[in-house]
Amino acid sequence: MLEARNLACIRDDRELFSRLCFRVEPGDILQIEGGNGAGKTSLLRILAGLARPERGEVCWGQKNISLVREIYHRDLLYIGHQAGIKLALTPFENLAFYQAASGGQRDEKAVWQALEQAGLLGYEELPSAGLSAGQQRRVALARLWLSPARLWILDEPFTAIDKQGAAQLMSLFAGHSAARGMVLLTTHQALPPASVAIRKMALMPVRETPCSG
């Protein structure tokens, strides 16, 4: 379980949020809502351990993530705004690299399946630099089909993805949830129809009451 305990974030002398508390339990899909500049990316980066909160802590299995860093990074897949792929490599090479880097055994069949699910068949051997923005995003997201991670933290996963791709992504999230995985995401788009419940949490500037526990 992921838990945010009394998180506060200050950027440029401005408090983006404060006393923020929530939990993400196995099977949960949680959408963080908020306008431009509300602090969604800042929050996701804190949750992923890429930035420190001004106050409060992020816990994984009841322990501060800094104390269980190795386990947390094994259990987490974070995909940020940037595609996070190597543009000089092909989609196939990017996914094979990810598979190796995440400790998985070399499994070309799984890579081909991920390419297919992500709608990248026929593009697998082109340098990623030559792909469209949506296709590059698909290369980044194709990691989800290969990922053994229980917790997915995804910043604007639907950006540049067409309607059919968005529906496939949503069904992947539903499958991950059914397998007791956790998905935490932001999006400005209306979500495609989902077969599972999606919790929503609006990022509000400041809350008055700290959470307990």
Ligand X SMILES: Nc1ncnc2c1ncn2[C@@H]1O[C@H](COP(=O)(O)OP(=O)(O)OP(=O)(O)O)[C@@H](O)[C@H]1O
Give contact residues for ligand X (rule: CB under 6 A).
Answer: 11-12, 16, 34, 36-42
Cβ proximity to ligand X, 24 vs 43, nearer residue: 43
Residue 71 Cβ vs ligand X, minimum distance, rounded to whole Å: 26
Residue 199 Cβ vs ligand X, minimum distance, rounded to whole Å: 18
Residue 83 Cβ vs ligand X, minimum distance, rounded to whole Å: 15
Q: 3-class DSSP state for residue 70?
A: helix
CA distance 36 to 14: 15
Q: Are 43 and 78 in contact (CB under 8 A)?
A: no
Which region, left, alpha or beta, applies to residue 160 given φ > 0 means left and ψ of -120 to 50 means alpha? left
CA distance 81 to 187: 11
CA distance 60 to 51: 16
Cβ proximity to ligand X, 40 vs 99, nearer residue: 40
Cβ proximity to ligand X, 11 vs 69, nearer residue: 11
Cβ proximity to ligand X, 42 vs 117, nearer residue: 42
Residue 7 Cβ vs ligand X, minimum distance, rounded to whole Å: 13
